[in-house]
């Protein structure tokens, strides 16, 4: 198994550089749009996008939370619902922040018909990074995945002798 510490050491500098580049791109685009349509219209668009983001965050957040609760109540693992809730939160924050690049990404995260694409893309990126770091993704497989054999516990009714305790079967799954 590879040492994942090397990947984690680069995470903070990569995030800082990304934030700086996004900020520079946002200022550049705001200046460009402001020069093209005027300062007043640019500010009006930014305020409208912030209100749209807050409204979408509230609406889609309620839907995501409701789906998450229903999945828990049904006894299912809500992995997709958790991802949707995280994307809705991130998308709403991006739409509320001033800027056009972040607004586009926020809309992709928030809109119900683009969110599954964003979830798959982000899942692919995360799985690829985890694989590069040497982390085993096999333990996260669902119970009905190919190659997973479900097991169950069989209770023994007879009292156990000390030598029989050494032969107990440990239930689980075989991959």
- Mean predicted confidence (pLDDT) in 150-171: 61
DSSP state letter for 174: B
Q: How far is CA 109 from CA 45, 63, 79, 170, in A?
A: 19, 14, 16, 43
Residue range 41-50, pLDDT digits in tens: 999 998 998 8
Residue range 58-115, pLDDT digits in tens: 888 888 888 888 888 888 777 777 888 889 889 988 888 888 999 999 989 988 899 8
What is the predicted pLDDT for the residue at 57? 86
What is the predicted pLDDT for the residue at 66? 87
Query: Cβ distance 90 to 109 under 8 Å?
Result: yes
Give the confidence band of 149 by pLDDT, cuts at 50, 70, 90.
low
Residue range 114-142, pLDDT digits in tens: 988 998 888 888 778 777 767 665 555 55
What is the predicted pLDDT for the residue at 1? 45
Q: Any idea what the Cα angle at residue 97 is, between residues 42 and 17, rounded to 5°?
A: 110
How high does pLDDT run on average in the chain? 79
Please say if the pLDDT value at position 11 is more than 50. Answer: yes
How far apart, in Å, do the first and last CA atoms of the chain sit? Answer: 18
Please say if the pLDDT value at position 38 is more than 90. Answer: yes
Give the confidence band of 53 by pLDDT, cuts at 50, 70, 90.
confident
SS (H, E, C) 42-108: HHHHHHHHHHHHHHHHHHHHHHHHHHHHHHHHHCCCCHHHHHHHHHHHHHHHHHHCCCHHHHHHHHH
Give the confidence band of 5 by pLDDT, cuts at 50, 70, 90.
low
Residue recorded with tokens 């009905």:
144
Please say if the pLDDT value at position 172 is more than 80. Answer: no
What is the predicted pLDDT for the residue at 144? 56
């Amino acid at each position: 198994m590879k040492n994942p510490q090397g990947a984690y050491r680069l995470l903070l500098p990569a995030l800082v550089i990304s934030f700086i580049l996004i900020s520079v791109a946002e200022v550049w685009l705001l200046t460009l749009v402001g020069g093209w349509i005027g300062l007043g219209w640019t500010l009006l668009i930014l305020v409208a996008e912030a209100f749209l983001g807050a409204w979408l965050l509230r609406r889609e957040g309620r839907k995501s939370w409701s789906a998450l609760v229903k999945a828990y109540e049904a006894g299912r693992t809500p992995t997709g619902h958790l991802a949707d809730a995280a994307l809705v939160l991130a998308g709403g924050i991006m739409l509320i922040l001033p800027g056009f690049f972040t607004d586009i990404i926020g809309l992709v995260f928030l809109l119900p018909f683009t969110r599954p694409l964003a979830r798959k893309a982000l899942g692919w990126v995360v799985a690829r990074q985890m694989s590069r770091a040497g982390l085993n993704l096999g333990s996260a497989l669902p119970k009905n995945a190919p190659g997973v054999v479900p097991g169950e516990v069989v209770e023994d009714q007879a009292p156990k002798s000390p030598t029989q305790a050494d032969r107990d079967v440990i239930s689980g799954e075989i991959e």
